[in-house]
Structure formats: structure tokens, C-alpha cells
Amino acid sequence: MASNTFAPQLKIPATYMRGGTSKGVFFNLGDLPPAAQVPGEARDKLLLRVIGSPDPYGKHTDGMGGATSSTSKTVIVSKSQQPDHDVDYLFGQVSIDQPFVDWSGNCGNLSAAVGPFAIHAGLVERVPQNGMATVRVWQANIGKTLLVHVPMRNGEVQETGDFTLDGVTFPAAEIQVDFMAPGEGAMFPTGNLVDKLEVPGIGTLDATLINAGIPTIFINAESIGFTGTELQPAINDNADTLALFERIRAAGAVKMGLISSPEQAASRQHTPKVAFVAGPAAYVASSGKTVQKTDVDVLVRALSMGKLHHAMMGTAAVAIAAAACVPGTLVNMAAGGGERESVTFGHPSGTLRVGASAQHTEQGWVVEKVTMSRSARILMEGVVRVPF
């Protein structure tokens, strides 16, 4: 973008939406400037400026971002180029303090908002006046199909309702999202359900490395001195702890074949995720609500963009569900072991139940579908102004 001090601001139609426990700026591909309608530097620079990055102050004061991994997000939606799909959905995770947009993965939370946005934007040709509209979404980052089930009332998306989601303050209408065949290639890229992960400065850790929903590294909480009941301050206020998790993430990324050297992890912040698990235990969530031991099957804490997430990333929830339903993974063993078709896990904001259908084939474990319920609504619509 030009740096002419007196240049006018570009006005681009945009919609600001909450999806699950995330927020992002949504665009119809055709509304972007021509240079930004294709991948490349122009698109990345535009989205960085929309969000307000890079911001050395870490506040996003001069942009639409919220200075957290959950709120520094952008979405581009268009009529689908894939057969039997309604729309294509591209997700960009904008770095807060670095000048890049990470396109390497999906956002599961904002996936719930793609269906409503597509209907509002007129990108879905046939929707019922009342009942449930199923929007078939092609997730372009990872090449996967999502089915977003959107409630309709009098020809419009129903946004209000009584469905509650831990990590979201107010109730809304329930939106079910089906992540179809969420595994990418080999679901366990090393071929093992549990690996020995060599981490410099830490030693050898047991780890489950899975690629379902999003590449994720699971380790046992106790192996690094935690209990699985931690809230954000216990992790995010300690630079040494954050550095420890980044070393684990880098080592796991190399082992999964996502990068060739640990140093490359710095430019791939969105994937893989790193999470730690523990057996059920009572704790007080960030809202002050007590989660009882009997409320959950397993405890999971996950980091996103270098910080402990305030709830749970939707794509990481897919990975949790997939791993929990495969006997022998660290997640499955922390949840009590054995075969299962769903799991309720505890996160910093409360609990979440996710279902999964997994089966063992000649090619290894395959997850056919992961299902979870989220909610979404439009927060603001109009134009976003961007200096150019």
C-alpha cells in the first residue's frame, strides 16, 4: 500500500462477526480490490492493515483486531468453485506483532459463522423460509468439507436463541458444524499413537501428534509440571513457560514433517497447535463457575499463536475429539481409555462436548466426521476503511 500522507481511505464492504469464541472480519471475495482478490502480497498487506498489524504495542488500537489470537482473524468467502458445495471459505490468521498472515490452517470457531455470512451475502442459492439450512462449505485452506447447519426463521438467519457456549457471555441460536473427514493424509503422520518427542532443554516427552481439524501436538500436563486446571494467567504471564511451549511446538512440527527445522516455526505460528491433557479434576473456570470432576471426561489446555487460549479453538476441538476416540492416544488415555464416540473436555472457560466417528482401516485410523455446536452472529456490517 502507498504511504501518501494525504491519500484517502479505501472503503471495502465488510462484516464483523462472532463465530463460537472467536471474532473476525468477513469479506465477500468480489468486494475486495482486484489486486487482493488473488493470493499474494497485496492481499496480505490489506488484511494486515484492516486488523491493525503489525502492532509493537500489542493492542490493535488502529485496526479491527482485538490483539488476541481469537480476534485477529479474517475470512474471505466466495461462490464455490467445487462441485456440490455452496461457498469457498478461506481463513487468514493475522499475526499481532509480525507482518504476516498465516494461511496454513482453518478456524473452527469462525466456521460456524461462514454459513450465516454466506446466506446474508446472498451466496447460497436455495435456503428454506423456516427450519434448517445446510450450507456446504469448502474449507480452502485445508481442502475439506464443512456442513454448517443454520437455523432460519421467516427467510432470515435466526441469530438469537437460548443456546449457551462456555467462553461466550450471551446465549444465541445453536449452529451445528460437521467437519467431514477432518484428517489430512495420515491422521497420525508418524504412524504412531504416541511418540517420543525430543525437546531441547526439556528432554524426552510422550506426545500424540495428530492431523485432524488442525495439526496438533498433545502432551501430558504432568510431564511438564502442570495439572490441566490452569487458566490463562498461569501460562501467559510467564515468559519462560511460553518459551517452553514454543520449543515443544517447534520440535513437534519438525517430527510431523510440517517444517524442516525448528527455526521455521516462528514463521508458522498458526499451525501446529500444542496442547496438554490431564484426567478429570474440579477447577474454577475463568468466569468463576466451578467445573466439577464429574462434568468432564478429560482436561485440555491449548495454546494458539503463542498464548494459552481463553477457551478452545474449534479446530483443536476437532483434534481432541478425533484423538479421544482412538484408543491408545494420550487424550484417550487421559479420558479413561477405551472406545468412545464423544468426549466432554474441560477448558479454561468451561466445558465442551464434541462427537466423533472413528474407525480403523487398512490404511490406519480414519475419522469420518466430527460434530460440535457453536453459535454466531453479525456484530456490525458496512464498510471497513483502510488507508492506501
Nearest to 94 by CA among 58, 54, 59, 34: 54
247: helix, coil or strand? helix
Residue 7 is classified by DSSP as P
> Does the active-site annotation cover 107?
yes
Is 325 one of the catalytic residues? no
- Active site residue: 64, 187, 305, 313, which one? 313
Check if the beta carbon of residue 63 is closer than 8 Å to that of residue 16. no
Residue 42 β-bridge partners: none
How far is the C-alpha of 128 from the C-alpha of 101, rounded, in Å?
A: 36
Beta-strand relationship, 307-308 and 298-304: antiparallel
In order of 20, 54, 66, 102, 270, the CA distances from 50 in angstroms are 21, 11, 12, 15, 19
Please tell me which residue in 107, 305, 325, 372 is annotated as part of the active site: 107
- Report yes or no: 110 and 374 within 8 Å, Cβ to Cβ: no
Q: Write out 101-117 in H/E/C secondary structure.
A: EECCCCCHHHHHHHHHH
CA torsion 36-42-44-49 (nearest 10°) is -100
207, 194 contact by CB (below 8 A): yes
Cα–Cα dist 326/211, whole Å? 13
Please list the active-site residues. 107, 313
